[in-house]
């Protein structure tokens, strides 16, 4: 019971003022009344309350409390709108004493304007938000619902629902969680909040609920009550679930496409990297953190690409378009240069305001770009090689025809030279970098004449190959391969390979020569027929002298000592084509 009532001698267990309290009851400057709980009628009301409700003194006695607009017996505490004698509304604050079974004492005073406004606003807000009030009695274990709460749950308002009834309508796997929170709230008091899923009573449909409440702890006899609000959040949960599913689909798609996802906030130049792929592209760990625009442009992006990136950013800002740019970045983990494609769009709070952030994706396209560059090179190389091959075939036909003594000899020489040319092209095509191994070209021609392995072991080996690994570019491999074929053919017909005791030793080495290297190649025959200098120059000699000199820019020296033919070639090797590696 309120302090004023106690000061005027009215205790909570004494609903009938005695004679000693009559004077204080009548003189109190606050509204007081005693209520008969069985009949719901006013036993006594002091003059101050009669004046507040615009009744003559004493006229409230005997009236039903329902005549004032109060429908709840016993009367709970709170703000009320009661009807005055003239039909107008009077907003009052009620502070009741605990009921004693037969009676209850109420302290009634006029509500403050601020309290009244707050209450009206709260009610309006609850209605707008679709929120309803509920109350759980810890002793009876009944749940009372307001009209809005009953509408949300599909129940009838004003009916006390047993907790067991509501419990049966909860999701099975949520019952234990909800009951645990309710028990904790009843035992300890204080506020709590939870979400759960429940079946409506009227149509059985499932809804998601947000429950918030505050429990008052009971005395020694047990718990008191929980009061709170309930809100239907089914739409919010569905939207949140759909958003989460969309984000998951986006992340899966980005992961499969090997895309990094990022946000760049312009005002503070801070970046947020959304997935692990973003860190992998830049060779950074989560501990290293993301990088903003300044660090990206000044430390990570290749200096030659910075101007193009800044221009792309400016154009996207001015035109409100998608930002696209390509550049090289230095990967932090190993220092390697990688090529990235970046695309994104700036977000604005309003059309007339500056963008707030950039949302985009990054792809590492290094391998793709290298493949594209290699494809371009291969097409260009194919055109060049076809042109040279046709010219070479034409020269082979003409020279072979001029030196052939019969159709059979022409056919034999022509087919051998064409097969050698085809093998060289096959080796070039199979190699990724369009090169041919010098040793492979030699083995292809000389293996039919070798008694054993072509590894240079043993002084009596018929064929000896000695030299380091050398890969010849296509523009060198074709003429050198043809030269090896001519040398082998001449040795088999007229030189060391034409007799069982003949030997051929090929030794080569590489010497530094500016940005590239020079190939030193020695062909030495021994043990064959006695050698005499030729009286005329055949196709092989012309190829060795002219083709190697013209196409390879080699210095070729041929010697014809009696014990065997010798050739020395000094050929400058071209620098590896950097088009095959765009990051070089």
Work out the average pLDDT over 162-182. 86
Instruction: Calculate the CA 455 to chain-centre distance.
Output: 55
- One domain, residues 484 and 379: yes
Query: pLDDT tens digits for 429-472?
Result: 555 556 788 998 898 888 888 876 676 555 668 899 999 999 88
**Both 470 and 393 in a single domain?**
yes
Q: In what order do the strands lie in the sheet with 225-232?
A: 161-162, 142-145, 131-137, 225-232, 206-216, 190-199
Q: Is 123 a member of any domain?
A: no
Query: From residue 584, how far is each of 328, 369, 576, 580 by CA, in Å?
Result: 11, 13, 11, 9
Question: Quick one: 346 and 395 in the same domain?
Answer: no
Q: Are residues 395 and 503 in the same domain?
A: yes
Boundary of a domain, candidates 187, 206, 232: 232
Q: What is the CATH number of the domain that holds 455?
A: 3.30.565.10
Domain end (from 364, 383, 401): 364
- The yes-or-no verdict on residue 167 having pLDDT over 70 is yes
Q: Is the pLDDT of residue 32 over 60?
A: yes
Q: Are residues 103 and 197 in the same domain?
A: no
**What is the C-alpha separation between 463 and 523, in angstroms, rounded?**
11
Same domain, 358 and 376: no
Query: Which is it for strands 503-513 and 463-466: parallel, antiparallel or unpaired?
Result: parallel
Residue 350 per-residue DSSP state? S
Structure-token pair, residue 293: 């625009």
CA 125-130-131 angle, to 5 degrees, is 75
Q: How does DSSP classify residue 170?
A: B
Q: What does the alpha-carbon distance between residue 223 and residue 215 come to, in Å, rounded to a whole number?
A: 9
- 122 within a domain of the structure (yes/no): no
Has residue 66 been placed in a domain? yes
pLDDT tens-digit map of 384-440: 656 656 655 655 565 566 566 677 767 666 666 677 666 666 666 555 556 788 998
pLDDT the model gives residue 580: 43
pLDDT confidence of residue 89: 76
Whether residue 221 is contained in a domain is answered as yes
Report the CATH number at residue 261.
Answer: 3.30.450.20
Share of the chain above pLDDT 70, in %: 73
Do 256 and 308 belong to one domain? Answer: yes
Is residue 96 very low, low, confident or very high in pLDDT (cuts 50, 70, 90)? confident
The reply to whether 431 and 539 lie within a common domain is yes
The per-residue pLDDT for range 250-285, each reduced to its tens digit, is: 666 656 667 888 888 888 888 888 888 889 999 999
227 shares its domain with 284? no
As a whole number, mean pLDDT of residues 330-351 equals 86
Q: Rounded to 5 degrees, what are φ and ψ at 355?
A: -60, 150
Q: Which domain holds residue 206?
A: 129-232
500 lies in the same domain as 389: yes
What token pair was written down for 83?
């009807």
Number of domains, the chain: 4
> Which stretch of 48-52, 127-131, 136-140, 324-328 has the lowest confidence by average pLDDT?
127-131
Q: 423 with 541, same domain?
A: yes
Q: Is residue 239 part of a domain?
A: no
Q: Are strands 206-216 and 225-232 parallel, antiparallel or unpaired?
A: antiparallel
Asked whether residue 124 is assigned to any structural domain, the reply reads no
Q: Is pLDDT above 70 for 504? A: yes
pLDDT at 583: 38
Q: Name the domain boundary from 117, 139, 174.
A: 117
DSSP for residue 58: T
Same domain membership, residue 174 and residue 306: no
């Amino acid at each position: 019971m309120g302090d004023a009532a106690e000061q005027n001698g009215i205790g909570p267990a004494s609903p009938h003022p005695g004679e000693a309290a009559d004077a204080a009851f009548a003189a109190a400057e606050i509204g007081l009344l005693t209520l008969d709980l069985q009949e719901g009628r006013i036993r006594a009301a002091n003059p101050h309350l009669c004046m507040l409700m615009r009744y003559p003194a004493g006229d409230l006695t005997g009236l039903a409390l329902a005549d004032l607009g109060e429908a709840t017996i016993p009367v709970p505490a709170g703000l009320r709108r009661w009807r005055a004698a003239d039909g107008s509304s009077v907003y009052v604050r009620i502070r009741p004493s605990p009921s004693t079974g037969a009676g209850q004492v109420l302290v009634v005073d006029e509500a403050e304007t601020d309290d009244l406004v707050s209450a009206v606003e709260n009610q309006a807000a609850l209605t707008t938000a679709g929120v309803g009030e509920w109350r759980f009695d810890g002793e009876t274990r009944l749940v009372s619902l307001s009209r809005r709460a009953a509408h949300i749950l599909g129940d009838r308002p004003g009916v006390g629902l047993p907790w067991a009834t509501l419990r049966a309508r909860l999701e099975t796997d949520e019952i234990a969680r909800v009951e645990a929170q309710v028990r904790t709230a009843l035992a300890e008091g204080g506020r709590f909040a939870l979400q759960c899923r429940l079946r409506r009573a009227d149509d059985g449909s499932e809804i998601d609920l947000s429950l918030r409440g505050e429990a008052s702890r009971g005395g020694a006899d047990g718990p008191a009550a929980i009061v709170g609000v309930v809100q239907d959040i089914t739409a919010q949960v569905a939207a949140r679930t759909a958003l989460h599913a969309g984000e998951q689909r986006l992340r899966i798609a980005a992961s499969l496409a090997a895309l990094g996802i990022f946000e760049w906030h312009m005002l503070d130049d801070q970046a947020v990297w959304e997935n692990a792929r973003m860190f992998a592209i830049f060779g950074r760990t989560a501990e290293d953190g993301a990088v903003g625009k300044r660090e990206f442009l000044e430390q990570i992006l290749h200096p030659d690409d910075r101007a193009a990136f800044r221009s792309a950013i400016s154009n996207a800002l001015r035109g409100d378009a998608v930002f696209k740019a390509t550049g090289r970045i230095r990967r932090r983990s190993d220092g390697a240069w990688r090529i990235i494609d970046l695309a994104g769009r700036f977000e604005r709070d309003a059309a007339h305001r500056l963008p707030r952030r950039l949302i985009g994706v990054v792809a590492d396209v290094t391998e793709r770009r290298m493949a594209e560059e290699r494809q371009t090179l291969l097409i260009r190389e194919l055109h060049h090689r076809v042109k040279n091959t046709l010219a070479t075939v034409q020269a082979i036909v003409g020279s072979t025809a001029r030196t052939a003594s019969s159709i059979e000899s022409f056919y034999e020489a022509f087919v051998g030279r064409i097969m050698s040319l085809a093998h060289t092209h096959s080796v070039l095509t199979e190699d990724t970098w369009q090169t041919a191994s010098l040793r492979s070209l030699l083995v292809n021609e000389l293996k039919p004449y070798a008694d054993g392995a072509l590894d240079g072991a043993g002084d009596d080996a018929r064929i000896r190959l000695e030299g380091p690994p050398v890969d010849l570019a296509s523009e060198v491999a074709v003429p050198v391969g043809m030269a090896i074929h001519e040398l082998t053919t001449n040795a088999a017909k007229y030189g060391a390979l034409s007799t069982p005791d003949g030997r051929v030793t090929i030794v080569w080495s590489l010497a530094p020569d500016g940005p590239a290297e020079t190939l030193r190649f020695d062909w030495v025959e021994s043990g064959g027929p006695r050698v005499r200098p030729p009286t005329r120059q055949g196709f092989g000699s012309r190829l060795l002298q002219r083709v190697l000199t013209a196409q390879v820019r080699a210095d070729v020296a041929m010697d014809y000592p009696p014990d065997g033919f010798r050739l020395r070639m000094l050929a400058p090797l071209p620098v590896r084509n950097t088009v095959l590696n765009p990051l070089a």
